[in-house]
Chain A
Amino acid sequence: MSAAAALEPSISPPLLQVAALRKAFGEIEVLHGIDFELAPGEVHAILGENGAGKSTLVKCLAGFEPRSGGDLHLAPPDSVIPQAHSAQAWTHGAAERAGVVLIHQEFNLAEQLSVADNIFLGSEIRGPSNFFLKKGEMRSRSADYLAQLRCGIDPDTLVAELSVADKQMVEIAKTLAKKARVLILDEPTAVLTQNESAALFELIDTLRARGVGIIYISHKLEEIERLADRITIIRDGELVGRYAADKLSKDDMARLMVGRELDSLYPSIPKPGPKPGPAPSAEHVPALAVSGLRVTGATNFAGEEFSVSSGEVLAFAGLVGSGRTALMETLLGLRPGPVSTQSAVKVHGKVVRLSSLADARRAGIAYLTKDRKGSGLLLDKSLRDNFSLLALDQFSRGVIDTRAEEAAFAEAVKKFDIRMRDTRVTAGKLSGGNQQKLLLAKVMATTPDVLIVDEPTRGIDIGTKSQIYHFLAQLAAAGKALILISSDMSEVIGMAHRVAVMHQGSIAGVLSGEEINEIEIMRYATGLKTAKPSSNGSES
C-alpha cells in the first residue's frame, strides 16, 4: 500500500459527505481528518480495529458528538444539491430531523413503555388540540412499520418483555417512523443469533432498495462481504482508504485494518495428549468434573455432565441462547439452579460445593463474563481498583496494602499488555480490547486452576483477539484447565481440544479430533444430531 489513502472514485451525487473531519477530546485528537461519503441506496461499511475511531466517527456523523473540524454536507430530501451543516448546529436532534439516525450498540429504549410508544417517542402523533395523544393511530402505524420489517411483535407489548433481537427491530422501526434517509448501524449483529442476523440482512437489502443510505460497522468480515457496496477503512483515527467492496478479499480487509501481516491468529496450543484429547483412564483425574448439573428451565432432568483436564481447552459451542452461559453461571453459583441431589462438582477429584462465586474462587475456578461493561468492569473506577476487586483479600491484612496492590497491577499491565493513556484513567475510557485484557487480568489475579471464559473476544478488534488467544494458549500450556464459551466458529475450531456443543439447554455432543469442524458442530448445535456425552465413561 502507498502511504496516501486510496480512494475509490465518488458516486455522485452523494447523500452525505464529510471532508477532513476531525475530532478531539480535550487536547487529544482521535480523528485526524477523515473523508467519507455515502450514496443513496448504498451500504457503506466502516472497518477498523477497536480504538480506530469508528464509533467516534459515526457519533460525529449523527450529531452525538460535535466535530472539531471538517465540513459536513447532506442532500435535503427534495434536492440533490448537498447542504452544508455547521458543527455547532449539527446536534443529535438536528441530525435526526434531517434523517440521519444512529442505532447504538446499547439500545435507547424506554423499557417501561410499549413498542408503539417507543416507536413514536419524541415524535408523538397528537390530536387537533395538540395536547392529547392519538394512541390508536400510533398503534396502527407501528403495526404497519413492524409488518414492513416482517416482524410479528405486538405494538402493545412492553419493551422490557422483548428479546434483544426484537428490541433491535423496534429500534429499526423507530427509524422508519422518523423517515430516516441515513441509517447508521453500529455492530448490530453482536447480540443476534444467526437466524436473526439473516433477517436483519434481508431488512437492510429492503431499505437499500428504497434508497436509504446505510452505514454499517461490524467486526465480522463475512457480514461486510455479504452486505457492503463500498468499504471505508480507518486506522488510528486516520483514513486508510475507500474501496469498492468487490475488490477486497477478507484477507485484504484484515490486512488493511491492522496495517501489518497478522502472524497466525490462532496460536498452536500444546496438546495435553495427542489429539483427540486425553483418553479418560482410571488414574486420570480431571481438573474439573461436573455431573448431574441442572439449570433452571432446562428440560434435561438428568442434568449436564462434562469435565476438563489441566492443560486442556474445552470449548462450548452452540447457537446464541442455547444455554451455555446459564450452565456455567449455575455451576458457579452466580444464578440459582433447581435443587438437585445428584449434582456433583469435583475439582482435582475433590468434591466441592459451589453456592456462590466466592466458593468457586476458593476452589480455584475463575469466570470471565461475556458482559464486559455490565458485569465485568466498574467503568467509572480506576484500572487498579478493577484489577484487584476479585482478589482483594490477597492484598489485605486488615487494611489494604496498596503498595502490593499497585505492584501486582503494574505486573499485570505488562503481562497482559494493557495500553492506556495514563494509569489514572477510568476503565470506561479504555478501548474494548484493552477493557477485555483488563478483565482477563482481573480474573487471573486470583491465580485459578480452572478458567471459564465466556465470549472472550466479542466485539474486539482482530489484533487484540490474536493477543487474547495467545494469552489463553499460554495459560493452557501452564497447566490451567480452560473452558471457552464461544459463538465464533473459527475461534472454537482454532482453539479447542474438545468441543461440547449445546442445543436447547443441554449438551448435545462432545466432539474431538477430526470431528471438530464447522459442519459437524452445526449439526449438533441445530439439533440435527445428538449423542449422549459419554466421554466421562459414566455409563459403564
Chain B
Amino acid sequence: MSKIDFKTAGPFIALVAIFIIGIFVNEAFLSAGNLSNILARSSFIGIVAVGATFVITTGGIDLSVGSMAAFISGCMILLMNALMSSIDSMSVIILLAILASAAIGALAGLINGLLTTKAKIEAFIVTLGTMGIYRSLVTYMADGGTLSLNFTIGDVYSEVYYGTLLGLPYPIWVFLVVAVVGYVLLNMTVFGRHCFAVGSNESVAHYSAINVDRVKTASYVLQGLCVSIATIIYVPRLGSASGQTGILWELEAIAAVIIGGTLLKGGYGRVWGTVVGALILTLIGNILNLTDAVSNYLNGAVQGMIVIIAVYLQRGAWRRS
C-alpha cells in the first residue's frame, strides 16, 4: 500500500519537520555538540517514558515518576555521602548506590502496583498520593534545601554522564538499550502481549487465563526501574537533589508517550513512538533556546500545543481507519 499510515509515521514526520525547522533557526543547531546534547538530555525523559509506555498500554497511569526520581536521587546522594567514611573505593560506593537506586525504584513501583491492584484504588489517585509523598520526603531529607553529592565521589561519578563510548555520551547508550529492551519486551514477548490484552479489556484478559493483577503490577515495577535508571544517569549531571528535582517529569513522560501514538485509554502502545516523542519534546526546548523569535519561557506552552495537536491528528486518523 502506498498510503502512508499516519498513525505509525506521524511522530516520525513531525520529528523530521521540527528537525528541519531547527536547521533554519540557527546553524549551531547542527553542531555535533548540540545534537549530542539533545540526545543526552532527552534520555532522562525518554527512559522514564519507556516505562510509562508499559503502564499506559496496560491501562494505568503513573503520576509519581517525577517525585520518585527526586526521592531516589536524594537517597542515592545521602547513601553515597554516608558510605564515604566506611568504604575507600569510590567505584564500590557508586555501585552500591546504583543497586540501592534500582531496589528503591522497583519497590516504589511495586507499592504503586499493589495499591492499584490489591487495594483496588484508581491508579490516578494512588500515584497522585505517592507523587506528593515522595516530593515531600525529598524536601524533608534536604531540610528544605539542596542535597549535594560529596565532590570526591562526584568527580568519579560524573564520568557516567559526561563519559563517551564511540563518541556518544553514555546516557545516549543507556537510552538506546532501554528502548531496545522495552521494544522487545512489549512487542515480542508473552508479557507484552498480555499488557496489550489487559489494557484492551481486563475481563477478556481474565477469561484468557492472564493474571491481570500481576501484569499491571509488573508494569508499575518496570516503570519504577526505568525511573531508577534515569536517576542513575541524572545524579552525576548536577550532583545534587532538591524539592525541585524532576519537577513535571511525569507530564513530559506522559506527553512523550501520547505523542508517540500510544493510546491513553490503554490497549495499544509503541516504544519507538515514545522515543520519538521524547526527542520531539527535547528538540522543541533546544530550538527555543537557540532562537530569539519565541521566548524560552514559552517552552511549556509550545510542548503543550504539540501534545494537543498530536492527539488531535491521531484521533482523526483513528476514526478514518
Residues of A within 8 A of B (CB): 334, 356-358, 360-361, 367, 369, 371, 374-381, 385, 389-390, 392-393, 396, 398-400, 442
Contact = CB atoms under 8 A, between A and B. Distances in A.
B209 A356 contact: yes
A374 B203 contact: yes
Interface of B: 184, 188-190, 193-194, 196-197, 200-201, 203-211, 267-268
A376 B208 CA distance: 8
B201 A389 contact: no
B203 A389 contact: no
A381 B207 contact: no
Contacts of A378: 196-197, 200-201, 204, 267
Contacts of A356: 209, 211
Given A375-B207, A389-B193, A400-B193, A380 B200 contact: yes
Contacts of A381: 196-197, 200, 267
A399 B200 contact: no
15 contacts: A356-B211, A357-B207, A358-B211, A375-B207, A376-B207, A379-B201, A380-B200, A380-B267, A380-B268, A385-B197, A389-B193, A389-B205, A392-B190, A399-B189, A400-B189
A385 B196 contact: yes
A356 B208 CA distance: 10
Nearest to A390: B208
A381 B263 CA distance: 13
A184 B26 CA distance: 65
Given A396-B189, A399-B189, A400-B188, A360 B209 contact: yes
A399 B192 CA distance: 10
Contacts of A375: 201, 203-204, 206-207
Contacts of B267: 378, 380-381
Contacts of A399: 184, 188-189
Contact of B190 (A361, A380, A400, A442): A400
B32 to A, nearest CB: 36
Please indicate which of the listed interface residues B205, B207, B268 has the most CB atoms of chain A within 10 Å of its own CB. B207
A375 B203 CA distance: 5
A128 B190 CA distance: 61
B189 A377 contact: no
A442 B193 CA distance: 15
A81 B166 CA distance: 83
Contacts of A379: 201
A442 B197 CA distance: 14
A390 B209 contact: yes
Contacts of A400: 188-190, 193
Nearest to A372: B204
Nearest to A379: B201
Nearest to B192: A400
B211 to A, nearest CB: 7
A70 to B, nearest CB: 25
Given A378-B200, A378-B201, A380-B267, A385 B193 contact: yes
A367 B207 contact: yes
Contacts of B197: 378, 381, 385, 389
B283 to A, nearest CB: 32
Given A376-B207, A378-B201, A380-B200, 6 more contacts: A369-B207, A374-B201, A378-B267, A381-B200, A396-B190, A400-B190
Nearest to A358: B209
B188 A361 contact: no
B205 to A, nearest CB: 8
Give 5 nearest A-B pairs by CB, closest first: A357-B209, A399-B188, A375-B207, A358-B209, A375-B203
Contacts of B196: 378, 381, 385
Contacts of A390: 208-209
A375 B196 CA distance: 15
